[in-house]
Chains A and B, each alone.
Chain A
Amino acid sequence: MEFTGYVFYIFSAILLLASLRVITASNPIHAALALVLAFFTAAGLWMLLEAEFLAITLVLVYIGAVLVLFLFVVMMLDINLEEIRKGFWGYLPAGALVGGLMVVEMFMVLGGKDFGLAEPVAHAADYSNTKELGRLLYTEYVYPFELAAVLLLVAMVAAIALTHRKRGDTKPLNPAEQVKVKKADRLRMVNLKPQKPEAPKGDDE
């Protein structure tokens, strides 16, 4: 076995263990951290497949942005673990039976042989995966690409529709109003006659 073969098995083993931890960890923070590890090893596997762009995107977007956000949310929410784990043992036998059956079935049905996969050909050193992806995305796949952009727009509209509201108890700033303010709005000139201060009255006088 070549060196990359060992790397593949090591990464795969870590990936499997990490994924298992994601669903078995009792603490949601640990689960999220295990997910970071799982993504990272998956990125390593993609790197082995010469999909550098995807691997780096996985690290940057999923680990860097999505999961950090995830951790924030998990830490801010007050999750009642007892409530979540309630009934776990009750459901376990049925779940394990169905899951086990599925695994056996999938093992029997799905194997590399069925997919006619050829050994991937290594590309030359000057081959740019990123460039190829970009070329495909903006030419052949421009239609789904644009639609994916529309999907993001919908997500934005939906998020604003569901969370934006006018609340009576907040005093938001309005920069447009702020910059338009004139001196006259804030400053009132009062003409005061000079006055003689009254002589202080004291008890000790």
Chain B
Amino acid sequence: MTFALPDLNPVLPEIFVLGMTCAILLIDALFKDRDLTYPLTLFTLVFAAAITVFTSVPQVQFTFGGQFVDDAMADVLKLMGYFATLAVVVYSRPYLVERGLYKVEFFALALFALLGMMVMISANHFLTLYIGLELLSLSLYALVALQRDSAQATEAAMKYFVLGALASGFLLYGMSLLYGITGTLELSVMAQLLQAGGQDQMVLAFGLVFLVAGLGFKLGVAPFHMWVPDIYQGAPSAVTLFIGSAPKLAAFAFTMRLLVDGLHPAVEYWQGMLAVMAVLSLAIGNLAAIMQTNIKRMLAYSTISHMGFLLLGIMSGTFAGYTAGMFYVIAYVLMSLGSFGLVVYLSRNGLEAENIDDFRGLNSRNPWLAALMAILMFSMAGLPPFVGFYAKLAILQSLVGAGFVWLAVVAVMFSLIGAFYYLRVVKVLYFDAPKPDAPVYPAIPDVQALLSINGLAVLMLGIMPQPLITLCTYAMQMTLQ
């Protein structure tokens, strides 16, 4: 019995993050010093980014017998994941301290969730894909429930848990059917076998339905979107910030690995399903968001519509579509981090800045914060010259290029409807009188600095989108060569 030791170089970032998370748990338990946990978490994220950059090679690397894949797409998405987690940790610190949630568990669970995302991003096997997903989901369920004395948060966690378990069941059933007809769990091998043909097409389509339904749940696209608004609203804002940002990268990677790396030969089956889900999400997300008064709920519906847009990119089944999808998800994570980050930042002194009303006349109180929020809202609405505009444009171009002109028309129509509720927030910020007891927020320097960088990045990437476009194109080229 011989066994070649797997090449551990590509897995170094994962090993480092796991080791550091365990170390943080132990150090916190030993020294009971929260001031050590926070910098250690930041150090982990920065150092993991450095490792990812230094171990990055242009070729696609497989290890652990093809269960793990390291390619340019994985590296870019992981780097973005570190940044998103870092921003979440920085933004939410004052919020957590004020509410007695500033505990090692928050940091440890966030890092475990990040590890789950990294595993998903680099998965080339149904097993790793699924375990990564569960690692992410389990950490998120616990994070939502972390605020134990809040009935709302507990209810949200319960809903998330039950629906998440259901979605996992769907995914597993679909995976088992595909395993049944191909006899392999490895995604790249599955693609080759399906390319060669000979499988029962009916079973393939049947299994795909379950896979795509499970995927829809996890992405939070209609008609599997019911959990999104409740969880976004019920969870503590700091956790909403996390759920709303970094996991979207993993969800994109999950979809790409599953449908493009593994099931590309079945593109004609999943294309139709994705198109239906995308159009429904655009419709439900944008229309339902108009009626919301709670900004977290409004942003939740906006997430649904954004995920619909993302699906449109993947759905086109072309190289341009995948690149556009990657650009879109990175842009969306930046915007989502900024907007939820501001909600968290303004939730101070016992006040939860949850309602759109709480933002009334922010310009007269904190003009810089109002400007940042306005930039983010404009970008989400897809107005030039912000990054959201280029993200939407790239998706539309790929759709037209692949011959789905009517889908592009539908997408533009719903984006126009969506612009209404984003612009309403801007109107509230600038043209409404503040409530008489509305506070003026003193700046928390580190948080405000990162928020400003975040907001300005959305602006700068909109003015000069070329570097990011080049990066995404390069990553996709290297990955799908």
Residues of A within 8 A of B127 (CB): 141, 144
Contact A110 B139 (CB under 8 A): no
In the complex, what's the smallest C-beta–C-beta distance from A167 to chain B, in angstroms? 12
Contact A135 B1 (CB under 8 A): yes
Residues of B within 8 A of A148 (CB): 131
Known interface pairs A110-B203, A114-B200; A158-B135 also in contact (CB < 8 Å): no
Chain B CB within 8 A of A75 CB: no
Chain B CB within 8 A of A116 CB: yes
Contact A157 B109 (CB under 8 A): yes
Residues of A within 8 A of B112 (CB): 150, 153-154, 157
Contact B135 A157 (CB under 8 A): no
In the complex, what's the smallest C-beta–C-beta distance from B16 to chain A, in angstroms? 14
Which of B176-184, B314-322, B414-422, B444-452 binds A?
A: B176-184
Contact A151 B134 (CB under 8 A): yes
In the complex, what's the smallest C-beta–C-beta distance from A11 to chain B, in angstroms? 21
CB 8 Å contact bits of A60-71 with B (1 = contact, 0 = none): 000000000000
Contact among A106, A150, A161 with B135 in the assembled complex (CB-CB below 8 Å): A150
- Residue in A closest to B201 when the chains form the complex, CB atoms: A114
Chain B CB within 8 A of A115 CB: yes
In the complex, what's the smallest C-beta–C-beta distance from A39 to chain B, in angstroms? 18
Say what secondary structure dominates the interface of chain A.
helix
Chain A CB within 8 A of B426 CB: no
Give Cα distance in the complex from A143 to B202, angstroms: 33
Q: How many A-B residue pairs have CB under 8 A?
A: 84
Residues of A in contact with B, size category = 20 to 34
Chain A CB within 8 A of B132 CB: yes
Chain B CB within 8 A of A142 CB: yes
CB 8 Å contact bits of A147-164 with B (1 = contact, 0 = none): 110110111011011100
CB 8 Å contact bits of B8-32 with A (1 = contact, 0 = none): 0001000000100010010000000
In the complex, what's the smallest C-beta–C-beta distance from B58 to chain A, in angstroms? 23
Give Cα distance in the complex from A100 to B368, angstroms: 59
Contact A162 B67 (CB under 8 A): no
- Residue in A closest to B129 when the chains form the complex, CB atoms: A144
Known interface pairs A115-B181, A139-B3, A161-B146; A151-B128 also in contact (CB < 8 Å): no
Contact B128 A142 (CB under 8 A): no
Chain A CB within 8 A of B65 CB: yes
CB 8 Å contact bits of B285-297 with A (1 = contact, 0 = none): 0000000000000
Contact A158 B139 (CB under 8 A): yes
Residues of B within 8 A of A110 (CB): 177, 203, 206
Residues of B within 8 A of A142 (CB): 6, 64
Q: Which residues of A come within 8 Å of B, CB atoms?
A: 105-106, 109-110, 114-116, 135, 139-144, 147-148, 150-151, 153-155, 157-158, 160-162, 165
Not counting A109-B202, A139-B3, a sample of 19 additional A-B residue pairs whose C-beta atoms are within 8 angstroms of each other reads: A105-B206, A106-B206, A114-B200, A115-B180, A115-B181, A140-B3, A140-B64, A141-B127, A142-B6, A143-B68, A144-B125, A144-B131, A147-B131, A148-B131, A153-B22, A158-B141, A161-B142, A162-B145, A162-B148
